[in-house]
Amino acid sequence: MTAKYDFHCHSTASDGSLSPAELIQRAAQQQITLIALTDHDTISGLVLAQQAALENNLTLINGIELSVTWHKHAIHIVGLNIQPNSDILMTGIAQLQHIRHQRVSKIAEKLEKNHIVGVYQAMAILGEKTLITRSHFARFLVSEGYVQNEQQAFDHYLGQGKCAYVATEWATLAEVMDWIHQAGGVAVLAHPLRYHFSATLMRRLLTEFKNLGGVGIEVVSGRYQIDDIRRCAEYAQKFNLAASVGSDFHTPANPWIELGRLAALPTELTPIWTYF
Ligand code: AMP
Ligand code: MN
Ligand code: MN
Ligand code: MN
């Protein structure tokens, strides 16, 4: 039996539906031996996840998924094998969390203007135990019956250009790369095809990423088909980047994406775990 890895997933510390311990237990059930927890802009799930990893006999890589604004586009950089107690990383995360908190109020305000009731209060309660993302708003809209599923919530309210969309200036690419490096980690470009960039823009991004010390790119991601994997593998080779695999698992309620259920990496690529 080959080893199973997963270097991109979420817990209740951000927008996942399983607690860090439940997530690790599920990973163990899926026979994963090496996993990274990569919550959005927070490391608050890592301590409990490490404890659960010890109990479940698997290895947890400390990770994070950082929000970046690059030439007006929101992109995500995964930091793997970070030291969570790094002062510089913690200061950076605090900045992103501050931006998130401000955005929560702005999104709530827009939703209330669009006749959605009780958002502020719901988010205030949620915000006490988690870092709020648009997924939380989406779930609220589903649970209150305004839409039938999370996708509809993005399509009708939260997605770019929709009535409750708030354009956000996250950190710069150079900043997050520095935070990750100062924390001893490696930077990986998350789900490269999700940005729908043209080939030119992708080349520009990867050139900049590489120049800033970027190490890896997700070649195998949650729902990637064989053609997608091939495209990302070409980027990895062209820019001399290591290849990562990550499901971007958020919840067992989504049957399409399971922890560790990922295609094998193309054998010609350097796997990211050789950098841990
Ligand atoms: P945020 O970082 O707060 O903008 O929230 C981003 C999160 O929302 C992502 O990590 C996804 O989990 C989720 N998300 C973004 N776009 C969509 C979409 N179109 N459909 C469903 N979930 C989405
Ligand atoms: Mn998410
Ligand atoms: Mn992401
Ligand atoms: Mn993610």
pLDDT band at 231 (very low <50, low <70, confident <90, very high): very high
Instruction: Give the percent of the chain with pLDDT over 90.
Output: 97
In testing the pocket of ligand 1, which one of 154, 168, 257 has its CB within 8 Å of the most ligand atoms?
154
Q: How far is the CA of 8 from the centre of ligand 3 (A)?
A: 9
pLDDT band at 223 (very low <50, low <70, confident <90, very high): confident
pLDDT for 224: 77
Mean pLDDT over 34-44 rounds to: 98
Query: Is residue 1's pLDDT more than 60?
Result: no
Q: Which atom of ligand 1 is nearest to the CA of 132?
A: 3
pLDDT for 2: 62
Mean pLDDT over 117-133 rounds to: 96
Query: Is residue 146's pLDDT more than 60?
Result: yes
Q: Which atom of ligand 1 is nearest to the CA of 40?
A: 2
Mean pLDDT over 100-128 rounds to: 97
Q: Please write the tens of the pLDDT for every residue from 184-213.
A: 999 999 999 999 999 999 999 999 999 999
* Token pair listed for 229: 């994997």
Q: Closest ligand to 154 CA?
A: 1
Query: Is residue 21's pLDDT more than 80?
Result: yes
R_g of the chain, CA atoms, integer Å:
18
Q: Which atom of ligand 1 is nearest to the CA of 103?
A: 3
Query: Is residue 256's pLDDT more than 80?
Result: yes
Query: Is residue 26's pLDDT more than 70?
Result: yes
Average pLDDT, the chain: 97
pLDDT for 73: 97
pLDDT band at 68 (very low <50, low <70, confident <90, very high): very high
Mean pLDDT over 9-34 rounds to: 98
In testing the pocket of ligand 1, which one of 67, 68, 134 has its CB within 8 Å of the most ligand atoms?
134
Please give all residues whose beta carbon lies within 6 A of any atom in ligand 1, as ranges.
15, 40, 67, 133-135, 150-151, 154, 159, 250
Mean pLDDT over 112-135 rounds to: 97
Q: How far is the CA of 223 from the centre of ligand 3 (A)?
A: 13
Nearest CA to ligand 1 atom 2: 133
